[in-house]
Homo-oligomer: A and B are copies of this chain.
Amino acid sequence: MTGFGDRIAAAVVARESQLLLGLDPPAAVAAEGRLASWCGALIDAAGPACVGVKLQLACFERGGAAGWQAFEAVAARAAADGLIVIADAKRGDVNVSAAAYADAFLRAPIDAMTVNPMLGADALAPMLRTATEGGRGLFALVRTSNPGAADLQDLRLADGRAWHVAVAEMVATLGAPSVGASGLSSLGAVVGATVPERVSALRDAMPHQVLLMPGVGAQGGSVGQLGPAFGGRAAGVLVPVSRSIATADDPATAAAGLRRDLWAAWRAVAPSSTP
């Protein structure tokens, strides 16, 4: 079975896109029972410019059982369009419960889920096992893009590292067995795009992780500064964008522009022999 790292590497090159369509439907959409149609329209418009979609579970769960049905329908629709489907669930729990979350999310048509690593390696293990056995992936939170991320993630350890660097090193270790021919692991990392120096340091700590990088655009991160984040691989960076596509007058054009800018940022740093 092809591992998730190799799958995402092939998909990024095939579609020449590192863009993920972020599906974060607003509260009113959930209240009006329009989750599936709202997301479907966005997938139709912006999907062709994207390599995948990222569904924000919170926005579906506030719709209750109907919201969960919409989540499954939207995931299936995106997969039918050939898009990688990432459940942005940020789950993390002790091992028996983590295994239950793996059952909930790591199944067709979902390709990967985001996870919270605070509970440590034994809590990630059941999800990582289910993911790798099924050719699926995980993205562990390492350094998030919100201002409050500094409160706990940036605390300085006695050995001089920031706490989030210890998280990164754990992720690199846990991801090592699933590194594929592409050089990418089934275990990726969520790293905010807001501070370029930090991104470079985290890329050094995680040479084989696909970095899922929120914060480009709305939160102040710049596509032009992403170069070092790729780590020499086109699929080294995935950028989820929701609001600035969903609220654009023309979501298709907005997504096409983001895709072009991201691909140009990759081409600017790509080794000459790579596609």
Contact = CB atoms under 8 A, between A and B. Distances in A.
Interface string A60-71: 011011111100
A74 to B, nearest CB: 13
A41 interface: no
B152 A118 contact: yes
Contact of A120 (B64, B67, B69, B153): B153
A53 to B, nearest CB: 16
Interface residues of A, number: 57
A250 interface: no
Given A155-B166, A156-B158, A157-B155, A62 B118 contact: no
Contact of A151 (B72, B101, B120): B120
Contacts of A157: 155-158, 163
What number of copies of this chain does the assembly contain? Answer: 2
B152 A95 contact: no
A157 B61 CA distance: 36
Contact of A153 (B62, B65, B118): B118
B118 A118 contact: yes
Nearest to A117: B152
A148 B163 contact: no
Given A155-B163, A166-B155, A116 B103 contact: no
A209 interface: no
Interface string A72-103: 10000000000000000011111111101101
Contact of A144 (B69, B101, B119, B148): B119
A24 interface: yes
A58 interface: yes
A123 B122 CA distance: 25
B119 A149 contact: yes
A37 interface: no
Contact of A146 (B122, B146, B170): B122
A141 interface: yes
Given A61-B104, A116-B118, 15 more contacts: A58-B100, A58-B104, A61-B68, A61-B105, A67-B68, A94-B144, A116-B116, A118-B118, A119-B146, A120-B148, A120-B152, A122-B148, A151-B170, A152-B170, A157-B157
Interface of A: 24, 27, 56, 58-59, 61-62, 64-69, 72, 90-98, 100-101, 103-105, 116-123, 141, 144-153, 155-158, 160, 163, 166-167, 170, 214
Closest 3 pairs between A and B when the two form their complex, measured CB to CB = A120-B148, A122-B148, A120-B151
